[in-house]
Amino acid sequence: MTIFGDLLEELRKTHLGVNIHSIHNIPSDQMLSPVEERLAELGIPYDEVIYFTPTEDEEHNTVYGQHICAAGATSFFLKDGTANSTIFMNGNIGKLTNTEDSELENILKYIFLIHEIGHAEDFNKQINFHHTTRKVDLVSAEAYADIFTLKHLKSSKNPAMKLARKYYCKNILANTASNEFYKAVFTKVKKSFLESKVREWARA
């Protein structure tokens, strides 16, 4: 097992202490299939899938999570009155990122899984996911997951985290360069991490 292979396995077991029902790798062509189908395929019992209505303008809604290239997705469901989150990770992330380097693939799986765990924590704490109204502030939710990820990568004493942080920051900047939704997200991220620091980490 490689360094990030080990870190990834540990992450899948500990969830960084966040309460999550389960984490699953699925084929990329299933990433946009209905959540009900994914849960049924995996044999996960549920009473109701929880869907949230975005609070943002339509210009943001249409560009978030609408493509099959997503590295991961966090979904929510009720079972016996308890709200749960489950994470689906794209099992073809190597093809998604055009890499044949297995360790780089593990790095990407690692950072994107942390991001999804950030969404689960947000859901559990009902910060941007409001259970009663079933509304979600998409921009703030995405910023929360970015900040959650950067905080973990910054605070870890493992020297390998510098490399993971570099790739995560490069991803943030790439998204921001060409997408209005992610520009709005980055504006919120910069309240916790200066843009100059994100760019510095991306070059490190």
pLDDT tens readout for residues 163-195: 999 999 999 999 999 889 999 999 999 999 999
Q: Provide the whole-model pTM.
A: 0.92
143 burial level (CB within 10 Å; 0-12, 13-18, 19+): buried
pLDDT digits (tens, 9 = 90+) for 115-140: 999 999 999 999 999 999 999 999 99
- The sign of the dihedral angle between the CA atoms of 34, 117, 15, 157 is positive
Per-residue pLDDT at 2: 87
In this structure, what token pair is assigned to residue 165? 């942080």
Give the chain's residues under pLDDT 70.
1, 56-69, 94-100
Closest CA to 102 of 110, 114, 94: 94
Residue 100: the pLDDT is: 61
Given this model, what pLDDT does residue 56 score?
63
Cβ neighbours for 44, distance < 8 A, ≥ 6 positions apart: 21, 22, 77, 86
> For residue 184, what pLDDT is reported?
94
